[in-house]
Amino acid sequence: MRRFKQIPRRHFAALGMGLFLTVSLVFGQAFDIKTSYIKTEHMIPMRDGIKLHTQIFAPKDKGLDYPILLFRTPYSIGHYGQDNYRPYLGPSRGYAEDGYIFVYQDVRGKFKSDGEFVVMRPHQRIKRGPQDTDESSDTYDTIEWLLENIPNHNGRVGQWGISYPGFQTVMGMIDAHPALKASSPQASPSDMWIGDDFHHNGAFRLMYTFGWLARNAQTRSGATERRDAGFDYGTPDGYQFFLDLGPVSNVDKKYFHGRVPTWNEYMEHGDYDQYWKKQNVLQYLENIEHAVLNVAGWFDAEDFYGPMSIYYTIEKRNPKNKSILVVGPWLHGGWARMYGDKLGNIQFDSKTGVYFREKVEYPFFRYYLKGSGQLDLPEALVFVTGLNEWNAYDHWPPTETDEKNLFLHADGKLSFDPPSGKDKNDSFISDPNKPVPYTAEIRTSQGHLWMVEDQRFAARRPDVLVYQTDILTEDITIAGPIIASLYVSTTGTDSDWIVKLIDVYPGNALDPKPNPYNVRMGNFQMLVGADVFRGKYRNSFEHPEPFVPDKISVIEYDLRDKCHCFRKGHRIMVQIQSTWFPLIDRNPQKFVDIYHAQDSDFQKATHRVYRSSQFPSHLKIRALK
């Protein structure tokens, strides 16, 4: 294991002083793009005749050949018009001065591009003719056109994108054009049913899906430069709005009225069927030969499963690929826009977003597209929250770990010692008509700060079970996946299970200075990681099964990877609940098709979590040695 604190000078020494001076100059002053670049707009033809609107910014200096940096998005490239220049070019400020050919493209069916937009358009492994197109073929055709029609290129192409543009980047990696030499998929979804934007383990992410589809998936009548307006909720209180909505079966008849066909498709595919499986990009990640920089944020509220599963799959199926993983303390896309040293109330003691942009992403593209400098990035570069330092590993998860189990005990205790005795359990009444909120904020959009939010608002509810360790006498650093193993029963026939891992600060923890929002950090319950599992899928995502009332069942699932240090003097806490609203839709707690449930289907149920020697509910963690 190699460890580097904040900006690891030793780790990047091989890049040379020249690169450090270049980066310093590039990121330290403004650059006039219009005097140095020529902007052109094109309708680039795809193999089926559909044309995609594309903007190209090429250096006016024709004395050199430049690599191409490609960005494809469904969110509008904006800045339409020959004289309407972007404020900066590339993933962040600084690339324009270094010299690239920058290409921005509206994807098929969006804004000024022709064709029909399909949310998470599935890849077609076998293409029988020019009419068989997907995001992979559109990327290939775009690169081919650029190489044939844009002068002064060096034959090397790089692609990057965050979130949905990250998905476009992943699709460009599949059956890639030979000129594609470097890809950086950042916060890309991989499976919208298992763990990304729209579902987690079969549970429907109501608030986000509603808002995203309302804005981005409405039917259109033709090309446009304008984005759809956001949905008007008529109130700032999203909790109340979605509670008043009633069952999700009411959404189309109350609000969408057929204008968001993807929503109605989702309502007809409640289980993990072929509709969802064919969208899963992981099955196509093979024969990837060019360099890949995978980027994720520990506190990404939308796409964390995606980038981690993409990295794991590339490593498994492309063992010779030069694939790098970088994970920092960021919200969704925060590495591209965060300039400070904190997220919400949590301080990280360094400007991690700036560090990534200048010392990781910038030299990555420079090395692979320009052949400039020496790249000395590790296999995995991760930020250890709690310790607030960057660690470098030659393998992820680190091999230098011991598996440990955190067991639930009586009286709200949490311990590495297994429980004893029989028939011990804790119970609570779950009422879907009064669900546990996912945040204390009043908002209609999902937001980001709840990912590190103080959980005391939830801990004090009677329908949330709380367990915590004694005060830690030494640091405990976890690195890798967290597996929840629960033995449960319910008086109903279905139930959701939410498990939260929390870092409890000491009572005398210091408040931040300055403290304009009057944050009190004494006994602060920082959310470190959490996820949900829809109980009827405990044995199969494809074939749901009802619970037998009061019969003990096993719920086991992955809370996803973390790298966090629980400091000496802190406590480790676990909270367990069955509602997380309106982040997750309400489970009626009755075995029904939830997407077509009626008001009468929703019922209270008593849930039990067992903590006996025979049924030892626990969390499995990996602790660094």
**Residue 356, pLDDT score:** 96
For residue 574, pLDDT over 50 is answered with: yes
**Confidence at residue 565, expressed as pLDDT on a 0 to 100 scale:** 98
Q: How far apart are CA 594 and CA 248, in angstroms?
A: 8
Decide: 277 and 426 in contact? Cβ < 8 Å: no
Question: What is the rounded average pLDDT for all residues in the chain?
Answer: 92
Angle at 483 between CA 434 and CA 293, to 5 degrees: 105
Owner of token pair 């002053």: 29
How many whole angstroms separate alpha carbon 102 and alpha carbon 65? 13
Give the model's pLDDT for residue 29: 55
Amino acid 423: pLDDT? 78
pLDDT in tens, 194-208: 999 999 999 999 999
Judged against a pLDDT cut of 90, whether residue 229 lies above it is answered with: no
pLDDT value at position 18? 35
**Going by DSSP bridges, is the β-strand pair 323-328/380-384 parallel, antiparallel, or unpaired?**
parallel
Statement: residue 441 has pLDDT above 80: yes
Q: What is the pLDDT of residue 14?
A: 32
Q: Specify the pTM.
A: 0.93
For residues 61 and 58, give the distance between their C-alpha atoms in angstroms, rounded to a whole number: 9
Least confident of 118-122, 223-227, 332-336: 223-227
pLDDT per residue over 417-427, tens digit each? 999 988 799 99
What is the spatial distance between Cα 299 and Cα 246, in angstroms, rounded to a whole number?
A: 30
Residue 7: pLDDT above 50?
Answer: no
Percent of the chain whose predicted confidence (pLDDT) is above 90:
87
Contacts of 572 (CB under 8 A, 6+ apart): 406, 414, 468, 469, 472, 476, 501, 502, 503, 504, 566
User: Is residue 312 helix, strand or coil?
Assistant: helix
User: Which CATH number is 2-191+279-393's, of 1.20.1560.10, 2.40.30.10, 3.40.50.1820, 3.40.50.300?
Assistant: 3.40.50.1820
Average pLDDT over residues 235-251: 97
Whether 20 shows a pLDDT value over 80: the answer reads: no
Question: In which band, very low, low, confident or very high, does the pLDDT at 6 lie, cut at 50, 70 and 90?
Answer: very low
Nearest to 187 by CA among 358, 339, 301, 284: 301
Give Cα separations from 86 to 33, 124, 581 (angstroms).
Answer: 8, 34, 39
Which CATH number does the domain 401-624 belong to among 3.30.420.40, 3.40.50.300, 2.60.40.10, 2.60.120.260? 2.60.120.260
Measuring CA to CA, which residue among 207, 177, 227, 209 is closest to residue 73? Answer: 227
Q: Work out the average pLDDT over 334-341.
A: 88
Q: How much of the chain exceeds pLDDT 70, in percent?
A: 94
Summarised one tens digit per residue, pLDDT across range 272-318 is 999 999 999 999 999 999 999 999 999 999 999 999 999 999 999 99
Quote the DSSP letter at residue 241: H
pLDDT tens-digit profile of 445-501? 999 999 999 999 999 999 999 999 999 999 999 999 999 999 999 999 999 999 999
The pLDDT value recorded for residue 13 is 33
Q: How does residue 354 score in pLDDT terms, banded at 50, 70 and 90? A: very high
Tens digit of each residue's pLDDT (9 = 90 or more) over 375-400: 989 999 999 999 999 999 999 999 99
Give yes or no for residue 156 having a pLDDT over 50. yes
One-letter amino acid at 148 equals: E
Give pLDDT, residue 515: 83
End-to-end CA distance of the chain: 10
Domain ranges in the chain are 2-191+279-393, 401-624
pLDDT at 4 over 60: no
- Name the strand (E) or helix (H) holding 37: strand 37-45
Quick one: pLDDT at residue 408? 98
- Under DSSP, is residue 230 helix (H, G, I), strand (E, B) or coil? coil
Largest interatomic CA distance in the chain: 79
